[in-house]
Amino acid sequence: MSCEECRAAIRSEGAWNRFDSGRCRYCAARRIQHIKGFKRLPREQISARCTAALADAKAHGWSETEIRALVRGDMAVEPAAKQDVRKNP
């Protein structure tokens, strides 16, 4: 796993969220998941913020289809790669 923000999100079980990095599609999806959790905001505002975050993700080159699929799943974090396992037995 190369994304430090994703690692921090796993360590804190989702309590840690920092989304100033457009380098990671999982962070981009997690940002939208986080916005969807703003239950005190009116639904139109949540929807507008999600749309803006999705546009931001697309501006960073991520596929809208992929981001939407990640958002529908569990907390979006970068999966551990096989080479990571070999590096840290």
Q: Which residues bind to Zn ion, rule: CB under 5 A? A: 3, 5-6, 24, 26-27
To Zn ion, the closest distance from the beta carbon of 86 in angstroms equals: 21
Query: Which is closer to Zn ion, CB of 50 or CB of 77?
Result: 77
Angle, alpha carbons 33-36-25 (nearest 5°):
25
To Zn ion, the closest distance from the beta carbon of 40 in angstroms equals: 26
Query: Which is closer to Zn ion, CB of 26 or CB of 62?
Result: 26
Amino acid at residue number 1: M
To Zn ion, the closest distance from the beta carbon of 79 in angstroms equals: 11
Q: Which helix (H) or strand (E) holds 8?
A: helix 4-11
Q: Report which DSSP code applies to 81.
A: P
Q: Report which DSSP code applies to 62.
A: -
Query: Which is closer to Zn ion, CB of 20 or CB of 44?
Result: 20
